Amino acid sequence: GESVGLHLPTLSVQEGDNSIINCAYSNSASDYFIWYKQESGKGPQFIIDIRSNMDKRQGQRVTVLLNKTVKHLSLQIAATQPGDSAVYFCAEKAGGYNKLIFGAGTRLAVHP
């Protein structure tokens, strides 16, 4: 497989704070990126996506930033809530290929 099998880093935040989760992607040809949330024992849940012709996209409480120059993607969660506690993965897709490759993931722990 192409995804990286590393143990997950953890980001701990206080409830109400903003969270920023980072992801470095590998393929400069990737043109579509998605952030997923995965709760324990469940499949990934779509959060937000962005195409390579954009630098920023906002959703409800979430913002994705894309820096193609350094191949970096970030997910910002505003006013983080306990229900946001989960593992977050970025995923990339290269044009012409429809397979999605996942990054290493970050565990978000929200403390009251």
Partner 1 sequence: GAVVSQHPSWVICKSGTSVKIECRSLDFQATTMFWYRQFPKQSLMLMATSNEGSKATYEQGVEKDKFLINHASLTLSTLTVTSAHPEDSSFYICSASRLEDNTGELFFGEGSRLTVL
**Footprint on this chain of partner 1 (rule: CB under 8 A):** 1-8, 32, 34, 36, 41-46, 49, 89, 93, 98-105
Give me the sign of the Cα torsion angle 61, 58, 72, 23: positive
Beta-sheet pairing, 19-24 with 106-111? unpaired
Smallest separation, CB 46 to partner 1 (Å): 7
**Pick 3 or 78: Cβ nearer partner 1:** 3
Per the CB < 8 A criterion, the answer to whether 90 and 34 are in contact is yes
**Pick 14 or 46: Cβ nearer partner 1:** 46
